[in-house]
Amino acid sequence: MVSHAVPVTLALESVDYGLDTPSPQRPTRSRNQTPDEEENRPKWRIHVHGGTRKPSSDVGIYLAQFIVELEKSGYFSQVDLISDHINEETKEYHFEIKAFFKTGEEDAQG
């Protein structure tokens, strides 16, 4: 699903998935959670690392297209760009994205 959305000018380096857990300082989930507390519960996510060598000046446009494709896929409730940077010494561009899967409640809401 992720690899089909990647523009040909970018390459995936790694994709992993799992639970994105709240920080240890936050309380654990209870049956009577408020909406604010609901945001603190673990969510399933994918974590994507990618990049390209000798990036063109419009590499950011391709990354934006990738993010939009992930958002439009309908699988994710949220797609976040964690980082992107160019290493001037090696002439390499790297990016990191986290995308959070929709839950059953989010699918029912729209």
In tens, the pLDDT along 6-62 reads 888 899 999 999 998 765 554 545 455 555 555 667 889 999 999 999 998 899 999
Residue 105 confidence (pLDDT): 61
At 61-101, the pLDDT tens digits run 999 999 999 999 999 999 999 999 999 999 999 999 999 99
Domains annotated on the chain, with CATH = 3-109 (3.30.70)
Three state DSSP letters for the chain = CCHHHCCCCCEEEEEEEEEECCCCCCCCCCCCCCHHHHCCCCEEEEEEEEEEECCCCCHHHHHHHHHHHHHHCCCEEEEEEEEEEEECCCCEEEEEEEEEECCHHHHHHC
Residue 14 confidence (pLDDT): 92
